[in-house]
Chains A and B, each alone.
Chain A
Amino acid sequence: MSAALISLRVLGPAGLIGLSICLLHLGFALLGPVFVLSDPAAQNAQVMLKAPSVAHWFGTDRLGRDMFARTILGGREAMFIATLSTFFAMLWGGILGVFLGLVGRWPDAVLMRVIDAMMSIPWVLMVMLFIAIFGTGMASLIPVLSFSYGLSVVYLARAATLSFVAEDFIWAAKARGHSPLHIVTTELLPNVQTSLAVQGAMQWSWIFLGVSSLSFLGMGVMPPTPDWGQMIADGRGVMQLAPWVVFWPMLALSSLVIGVNLFVDALARNFGIDRALPLQKYIAT
Chain B
Amino acid sequence: MSTPPPFLAVDALTVRVTSNSKSGKVILDGITLAVDQGSALGIAGESGSGKSTLLLAMMGVLREGLMQTSGDLHLQGEKILGLGDDALCTARRGTLAFIAQNTSTALTPNHKISTQMDEALRLNTPLPKPQRNDRATDLLNQVMLPDAVAILAKYPHELSGGQAQRVAIAMALASNPKCLMMDEPTTGLDVTTQATILDLLIHLQKTMGLGLICVSHDLGVLAKLCTQIGVMQAGKLVELGPKAQLLGHPKHDYTKTLLAAVPRLSTPIPPPKAARGPEVLRVSNLSLSYKSAQKRGWPWQKAKPHFALKNAGFMLHQAEVLAIVGESGSGKSTLLRAIAGMADWQQGSISYMGPKGQSIALGPLKSRRLSDLAAVQMIFQNPQSSLNPKQSVLQILAQPLRLYFPQTLSDLAARAAALCASVRLDTSYLPRFPPQLSGGERQRIAIARALCAKPKILLCDEVTTALDVSVQATVLALLRDVTVQEQSAILFVSHDLAVVRMIADRIIVMKNGEIVEMGSVAEICETPKHAYTKNLLAAVLDTNM
Give the complex CA separation of A174 and B400 in angstroms: 11
Given A175-B340, A175-B378, A169 contacting B373 (CB threshold 8 A): no
Give the complex CA separation of A168 and B389 in angstroms: 11
Chain B CB within 8 A of A2 CB: no
Chain B's closest residue to A193 (CB) is B390
Chain B's closest residue to A171 (CB) is B342
Q: Is the CB of B378 within 8 A of A177?
A: no
Q: Is the CB of A172 within 8 A of B378?
A: yes
Chain A CB within 8 A of B368 CB: yes
Choose one: A167, A168, A177, A186; the contact of B373 (CB below 8 Å). A177
Give the complex CA separation of A168 and B382 in angstroms: 8
Q: Is the CB of A169 within 8 A of B386?
A: yes
Chain A CB within 8 A of B131 CB: no
Chain B 394-432 interface residues, beta-carbon cutoff 8 Å to A? 395, 399-400, 403
Chain B CB within 8 A of A191 CB: yes
Interface size on A, residues (CB 8 A): 15
Chain B nearest CB, measured from A60 CB (Å): 53
Give the complex CA separation of A191 and B388 in angstroms: 8
Chain B nearest CB, measured from A245 CB (Å): 49
> Which B residues are CB-close (under 8 A) to A176?
373, 377, 399-400, 403, 453
Give the complex CA separation of A178 and B395 in angstroms: 14
Chain B CB within 8 A of A190 CB: yes
> Which A residues are CB-close (under 8 A) to B449?
172
> Which A residues are CB-close (under 8 A) to B377?
175-176
Q: Is the CB of B389 within 8 A of A178?
A: no
> Which B residues are CB-close (under 8 A) to A174?
342, 365
Chain A CB within 8 A of B380 CB: yes
Chain A's closest residue to B453 (CB) is A176
> Which B residues are CB-close (under 8 A) to A234?
none
Give the complex CA separation of A186 and B399 in angstroms: 9
Give the complex CA separation of A174 and B340 in angstroms: 10
Chain B nearest CB, measured from A58 CB (Å): 45
Given A175-B342, A176-B399, A177-B403, A167 contacting B385 (CB threshold 8 A): yes
Give the complex CA separation of A171 and B368 in angstroms: 16
Give the complex CA separation of A281 and B252 in angstroms: 58
Q: Is the CB of B380 within 8 A of A191?
A: no
Chain A 143-174 interface residues, beta-carbon cutoff 8 Å to B? 167-169, 171-174
The DSSP consensus for interface residues of chain A is: helix
Give the complex CA separation of A28 and B373 in angstroms: 58
Chain A CB within 8 A of B387 CB: yes
Q: Is the CB of A178 within 8 A of B399?
A: yes
Chain B's closest residue to A172 (CB) is B386
Give the complex CA separation of A173 and B365 in angstroms: 12
Give the complex CA separation of A186 and B387 in angstroms: 12
Q: Is the CB of B389 within 8 A of A191?
A: yes
Chain A nearest CB, measured from B53 CB (Å): 23
Choose one: B368, B388, B389; the contact of A177 (CB below 8 Å). B368
Give the complex CA separation of A154 and B188 in angstroms: 37
Give the complex CA separation of A87 and B309 in angstroms: 49
Give the complex CA separation of A267 and B341 in angstroms: 41
Chain A nearest CB, measured from B292 CB (Å): 19
Chain A CB within 8 A of B1 CB: no
Mark contacts of B337-359 with chain A using CB atoms, 8 A cut-off: 1 yes-contact digit, 0 otherwise.
00011100000000000000000
Q: Which of B378, B388, B403 has the most CB atoms of chain A within a 10 A radius of its CB?
A: B388
Chain B CB within 8 A of A108 CB: no
Q: Is the CB of B342 within 8 A of A173?
A: no
Chain A CB within 8 A of B545 CB: no
Q: Is the CB of B390 within 8 A of A190?
A: yes
Chain B nearest CB, measured from A203 CB (Å): 23
Mark contacts of A167-199 with chain B using CB atoms, 8 A cut-off: 1 yes-contact digit, 0 otherwise.
111011111111000000011001100000000
Chain A CB within 8 A of B391 CB: yes
Give the complex CA separation of A99 and B368 in angstroms: 24
Chain B's closest residue to A164 (CB) is B388
> Which A residues are CB-close (under 8 A) to B391?
186, 190
Q: Is the CB of B399 within 8 A of A168?
A: no
Given A168-B380, A186-B391, A175 contacting B386 (CB threshold 8 A): no
Chain A's closest residue to B380 (CB) is A168
Chain A CB within 8 A of B275 CB: no
Q: Is the CB of A172 within 8 A of B368?
A: no
Chain B nearest CB, measured from A125 CB (Å): 37
Give the complex CA separation of A177 and B341 in angstroms: 10
Chain A 67-124 interface residues, beta-carbon cutoff 8 Å to B? none
> Which A residues are CB-close (under 8 A) to B387?
169
Chain A CB within 8 A of B274 CB: no
> Which B residues are CB-close (under 8 A) to A177?
365, 368, 370, 373-374, 403
Mark contacts of B274-307 with chain A using CB atoms, 8 A cut-off: 1 yes-contact digit, 0 otherwise.
0000000000000000000000000000000000
> Which B residues are CB-close (under 8 A) to A187?
388
Give the complex CA separation of A63 and B208 in angstroms: 91
> Which B residues are CB-close (under 8 A) to A173?
399
Chain B nearest CB, measured from A188 CB (Å): 9
Give the complex CA separation of A174 and B387 in angstroms: 13
Chain A nearest CB, measured from B416 CB (Å): 16
Q: Which of B340, B386, B390, B449 has the most CB atoms of chain A within a 10 A radius of its CB?
A: B390
Give the complex CA separation of A190 and B433 in angstroms: 13
Q: Is the CB of B385 within 8 A of A169?
A: yes
Chain B nearest CB, measured from A98 CB (Å): 15
> Which A residues are CB-close (under 8 A) to B378?
172, 175
Q: Is the CB of A168 within 8 A of B385?
A: yes
> Which A residues are CB-close (under 8 A) to B403?
176-178
> Which A residues are CB-close (under 8 A) to B365?
174-175, 177
Give the complex CA separation of A245 and B468 in angstroms: 69
Q: Is the CB of A190 within 8 A of B368?
A: no
Chain A nearest CB, measured from B423 CB (Å): 16
Chain A nearest CB, measured from B101 CB (Å): 22
Give the complex CA separation of A190 and B387 in angstroms: 13
Chain A nearest CB, measured from B146 CB (Å): 36
> Which A residues are CB-close (under 8 A) to B399?
173, 176, 178, 186
Give the complex CA separation of A169 and B400 in angstroms: 13
Give the complex CA separation of A174 and B377 in angstroms: 11
Mark contacts of B174-201 with chain A using CB atoms, 8 A cut-off: 1 yes-contact digit, 0 otherwise.
0000000000000000000000000000
Give the complex CA separation of A187 and B403 in angstroms: 14
Give the complex CA separation of A173 and B377 in angstroms: 11
Give the complex CA separation of A168 and B385 in angstroms: 5
Give the complex CA separation of A167 and B386 in angstroms: 7
> Which B residues are CB-close (under 8 A) to A169?
385-388
Give the complex CA separation of A169 and B388 in angstroms: 6
> Which A residues are CB-close (under 8 A) to B381?
168
Choose one: B390, B395, B400; the contact of A191 (CB below 8 Å). B390
> Which B residues are CB-close (under 8 A) to A168?
380-382, 385-386
Give the complex CA separation of A167 and B389 in angstroms: 11
> Which A residues are CB-close (under 8 A) to B373?
175-177
Chain A's closest residue to B398 (CB) is A186
Could you give 5 example pairs across A and B, Cβ below 8 Å? A167-B386, A172-B378, A173-B399, A176-B377, A178-B399
Contacts A176-B453, A186-B395 aside, 13 further interface pairs with beta carbons under 8 A come to A169-B388, A171-B342, A171-B380, A172-B380, A172-B386, A172-B449, A175-B341, A175-B378, A176-B403, A177-B368, A178-B399, A186-B391, A191-B388
Q: Which 8 A-B pairs have the closest CB atoms?
A: A190-B390, A168-B386, A177-B373, A168-B380, A168-B385, A169-B388, A175-B340, A167-B385
Residues of A participating in the B interface, judged by any CB pair closer than 8 Å:
167-169, 171-178, 186-187, 190-191
